[in-house]
Every structure is written in C-alpha cells, then in structure tokens.
Chains A and B, each alone.
Chain A
Amino acid sequence: MEQVVATIFNVLILSSMYILVALGFAFLFNMLGILNLAHGAVYMVGGYIGFALINSAGVNPWVAILIATLIMAGFGVVLERFCFRPFTGDFNRIVMVGVGINVVLQTAVNALLGTRMQALPSFFDGYLRFGVVSVSYQRITIFLIGAALLVLVSWFVRRTKHGQQMQAISQDIEGAALSGINVHRVSALACAIGSGMAALAGCLMGSYLMLSPYMGDLMLIKALVLVILAGIGSIGGIFVTGLILGGLDAVAPVIFDGAVADAIPYIVVVVVLLLRPRGFFGREA
C-alpha cells in the first residue's frame, strides 16, 4: 500500500514536471518549427540559480524560485531575439546555436559550481499521515505547484488573446501575420513563458531529485518524446503523453532493476512511433 501511494505520487510529480518542460519546448516548435536544443540547459540553469540563491545568498526558497523563473524568462527573450529570430526557417543554424548555448550554460555551471550533484533544500518538513500511508508535504507541494501551473498555462493558451495568437501562428504563420498578429512579439513571449516554466521545473526537480549539470540533456529528450508522441501541433496531447511517460518512468523501476527500467520507456516510444508515425493527436504531415 505504502509503495502504491508513493508510486502514484512519483507518477504525478514526474508527469507534471515533464509536461511543464515539454510545453515550453512545444510552443516554439509548433509555432515556428524551432528545435530549441538549449531548452534542457535552461531547465538545468534554472535549478542551479535557485540552488545558488538559497544556499549562498540565503534567500527564502519561494523568493529564490520566483527569481530563478524570472531570470530564465528574461533569458528566453534574449534567446529568441538574438539566437532564433535571425535564423527562422534555417534548421541547421538553429541546431548549431542550440548546441552552442547548451555547451556554454553547462560549462558555466561546471566552472562556477563544480560537477558535484547538489540538491535544493526542502520547503516543508514532515509527513501527511493517512492511516498506514504517509506522504511528505514536500512532494505534495511540488505536485500542487506543478498542477496549478499547468492549469494556468492551459487557461492562458486557450482563453487569453496572446494564447490564441500563439495557436493561430502554429496553424498558419503567414495567415496570422496577415491578420495583424505581431509574430515576433508573440514568439518572444512564448519563449519567455517556456523558459520560465522550464526554470521553475528545474527548481522543483532539484528539490525532488538532485541537480547535475547534465540533467538538461535527459530532460530535453523527454520533452522531445512528449511533443512527438503527442503529435506536432497538439498542445492538449502533451498532457496525455506526459502522463504516459511519467507513468512508465515511475513504474518501470518498481518492477525491473535500474538499467532495464531506463531502457523500457524508449523501446515503448519507438514501437508507438512505428505504429503511429504522426503521434497520437498529430495533424496530417
């Protein structure tokens, strides 16, 4: 029973973190076809900024997470303006820029903070006891923040003006521009929101698991899995694929041992892609 509840919470936390990172990636990918290879590094740096603020500057954890989110959102604007906008439509150069940014951020973290694994301190101590089952407040908080943010983002995409403009651009970029949508401004906003969400997920994951300078590479691949399995152009599908991948990642280690458990999700993904090349909810390619 204990393990079942713990696994359910693992599924929920992992899924919400994967979805948070993948949504930010999907915004740019769906709208402008930009393969943002720096997204994983943004997620990693967000976590490390939170860590540095809490540990070295002694900032309140909540304030630290907020600052980290805002810094990386600002970085997202810079990224869009100087690294992606000049090369829109040029796949090769966007990939090169992404790898370059990735290397710069990883090396900077390595040089400044060392390659040791670090962890953010927990925000809450204690456990919520429920009969024989106990769940730490820490995990509940992480899940609640992630879930609240996901609700907020889906509301933003579906109901607000800028969100609907983003959807319009991902359907038809020229039509959107012709009907008066400022494509550059909306994509800068999308990159800022995406980077901010990634940074926040980095902070939360840093207190749930550990921080390492190379954790971004793995998260980038997870984000790609979510976006491709959902189908290019689908935002809602990411929530479904996020739950599937989070479930696989959380349940597989319970049944199989270490390395085998790491392999299973990817084998499943390859098989699914063979059966449904367009993903679950993708439009016609």
Chain B
Amino acid sequence: MNALSRFAADKTRSAGYGILVVAVILLGVIPLLMESLYSLHILVMVFFYVIAALSLRAIVISGQFPLGHAAFMGVGAYASGMAAKWLHLPPELTIPGAAVFTMIIGVMVAVSFSRLRALYYAMGSLFLGVAIIQILNAGGTWTGGYSGFSGITPMFGNSKVSWYYAALGLMILSAAALYRFEFSRIGTNMKAISQSHLVAESVGINEAKYRILAVAIGSFFVGLAGAGYAHYMGTIATSSYNFMATMWLFMYVLVGGVNNFFGPIVGSFILILIPEYFRSLKTYSPFISAGILFLFVYLMPGGFAGLIQAAVARVKSWRRERARDVAAD
C-alpha cells in the first residue's frame, strides 16, 4: 500500500513537471509564432508582475501582509532608473544593484517594524508605502515628481523579442529561487510561524529573524522586478506603485490561490491577460477585472489552485469508488 501511494504521488508529481515543461516550451516559442509586438509587450509586463506577485507571496507565507509591497517595486524601479540616468551606470549593473538596495531598505523596515505583528505590520507597511510614494513625488527633477520619471537607459536596443526572452528568463530564475526557498527548512519555519508564532517560538524558531528574512527575500525580488520593468518601459510614474497597485498584487496572489506556489503565476496571467483581451470596451474594461474577482470570491474560495485541487480530489475519489465497485463485482 505504501509503495502504491508513493507510486501515485510520483505520478502526480511527474504530471506536474510535465505541465511545467510544456508551459515553459510554449512560452519559449510564442515569439516565433506571434507577429504582434503588442502581445509580446503585454506578456513581458505579465512576466515582471509574476515576479512581483511571487515575491509578495514569499512574505505572506511567513504570516505578514505587506500592504505597501508595490512601493518597494517603486523603490527598485526608481533606484535603478536614477542610477542609470544620473550616474550613467550600465543597466546590467544597476538592476541587481537596485534589487540589493531594495532588500536593504526592506530589512531596515522589517527590523524597525519587527515589534509589530499581523494587522499592525500590515498597516505599518501600508503607511510606509504611502510615505515612500510621497517622498518620490517630492523629489523634484531627481525623480520627476508627479509627472513621472522618463529617459531611463534602455537595454537590448529596445527589441521586444530580446526583452521577451530576458524577462522570461528572469521570471523562471526568480521562480526557481523562490521555489527552493519556500520548500527549504527556512520556508517551513516561516509557515510554522504564520500558523502559530507561539508554538514556533517554543520549539526554538527565532520568530523575528525569520520574519525579517522573509521580508528581505521578498524585497529583493520585488526590487528586481521593478528595476527590470523600469528599464523595459523607459518611463515610470509613482501612480503605478501606490496602495491600489499593492492591492492588485494581492489580487494576483489570491485569484491564483495563496496556498499554492504556482498560484501567483496563474493569477497574474488571468488578471492581466483576460482584461487585456477585452480592452476594446475602453472605459468599461475594468468591469471585467472586477467580474473575475467576484467570480473567484463567490465560487472559488481557494483561488485557481483550490479549484484544481478540488477537481483532482473529486477525480481520485471517483476512481477509488469505481475500483471498489469493480472489486465488489
């Protein structure tokens, strides 16, 4: 029986790997099949937002809700953009530099907010995010202020296909790193803290240390996404990193399913691509996004991942029942 269940687990796991490989190959050949540069542009944006949503989930699994996460994407974007424009550094240097810079800021914040738990941390990071946005707005010519920051050094000669593969590669690397991170001992400790910080501490898990570590990892990857996005777009504005932007990152995670590593990936694709498909509705197109949200809230509480899990469970129980019927005959 034990061997049998292990065999079944192996089978679902290899099925999962199969789907993953097929998805990556599909994403890899899309530029060869698609002529439309606009579609490539949308997909590049999706890749950057996937990294941001994954990094958000890396913090959420440690039981913290950073309601100012998009502001850290802004920190990465502005840090890289300003270093490239004003210090004339090459983007290859500023993008990782901005990610590290965002991580340092994130750690400083996490250390100072490490006394705050759950709701208070959420609110603290929310207000900090607003403060960061307002400071960027007040930056005058250095940050462009309310009118946005333009003239960020481009990369790859602005070729959409090169950017597509760069963003895809960055997304796969980040996802792999965050996957390893979540299923390592550190990730397990973080999940323990989020379930009960008292029990976790009583078995010797240093709560503050792991929560700060989660914020550090999350900030690094969101800074990376922001910096890449800034060099891709060439122009950035603080309004893309405000409170509602953070809420949309949360929506990507929740629609995909917060309990599954691949949730944020699927959620970003659903919530960016489907409204984009209906963009001919113009002013009415946000109704599509809202409709998707209501659909998931009322009908699929576990997000997309929860739906798949429920479907797999149903198929399994159906199979078991049939096997029992056959045995009874």
Contacts and interface: CB of A to CB of B under 8 A. Distances in A.
A101 B291 CA distance: 10
Contact of B138 (A92, A228, A263): A263
Contacts of A37: 247
Interface in B267-308: 283-284, 286-287, 289-290, 293-294, 296-297, 301
B238 to A, nearest CB: 10
Contacts of A262: 134, 137-138
Contact of A96 (B115, B242, B251, B283): B251
A67 to B, nearest CB: 26
B120 A225 contact: no
Contacts of A228: 120, 123, 127
Q: Which of B135, B254, B297 has the most C-beta atoms of chain A within 10 angstroms of its own C-beta?
A: B297
Q: Which of B115, B126, B139, B284 has the most C-beta atoms of chain A within 10 angstroms of its own C-beta?
A: B126
Q: Which of A90, A103, A274, A285 has the most C-beta atoms of chain B within 10 angstroms of its own C-beta?
A: A103
Interface stretch (A5-13, A106-114, A118-126): A106-114
B254 A107 contact: no
Interface in B90-147: 112-113, 115-117, 119-120, 123-124, 126-128, 130-131, 134-135, 137-140, 145-146
Given A100-B293, A267-B131, A285-B120, A224 B126 contact: yes
Contact of A259 (B134, B255, B283): B134
A55 to B, nearest CB: 20
Chain B at the A interface: SS class: helix
Given A217-B242, A270-B128, A103 B137 contact: no
A100 B244 contact: no
Given A92-B254, A96-B254, A217-B242, A285 B117 contact: yes
Q: Which of A106, A266, A285 has the most C-beta atoms of chain B within 10 angstroms of its own C-beta?
A: A266
Contact of B119 (A93, A220, A232, A266): A232
A140 interface: no
Nearest to B124: A273
A270 B138 contact: no
A95 interface: yes
Nearest to A108: B287
A57 B120 CA distance: 45
A122 B51 CA distance: 49
A281 to B, nearest CB: 14
B258 interface: yes
A266 B127 contact: yes
B138 A260 contact: yes
A150 B298 CA distance: 36
Contact of A274 (B112, B254, B289): B112
Size class of the contact patch on chain A: 35 or more
Chain A at the B interface: SS class: helix
Interface string A251-270: 00000000110110011011
A168 to B, nearest CB: 21
Contact of A263 (B126, B134, B242): B134
B120 A110 contact: no
A107 B287 contact: yes
Interface string A77-101: 0000000000100111101110111
B232 interface: no
Given A107-B284, A277-B116, A285-B117, A266 B134 contact: yes
A221 interface: yes
A230 to B, nearest CB: 12
B250 interface: yes
A93 B294 CA distance: 9
Contacts of A93: 254, 297, 301
B220 interface: no
A177 interface: no
A104 interface: yes
A277 B120 contact: yes
Contact of A100 (B116, B119, B290): B290
Contact of B244 (A87, A217, A224, A273): A217
Given A103-B289, A263-B138, 11 more contacts: A37-B247, A97-B294, A99-B244, A100-B297, A103-B287, A221-B130, A221-B243, A267-B135, A273-B120, A273-B124, A277-B124
Which 4 pairs, one residue from A and one from B, show the smallest C-beta to C-beta distance? A263-B134, A259-B138, A266-B131, A100-B293
25 contacts: A87-B297, A91-B65, A95-B254, A96-B254, A99-B247, A99-B293, A102-B244, A103-B293, A104-B287, A104-B290, A107-B286, A228-B123, A259-B138, A259-B145, A259-B146, A262-B138, A266-B127, A267-B131, A270-B128, A273-B123, A273-B127, A274-B124, A277-B115, A277-B116, A277-B120
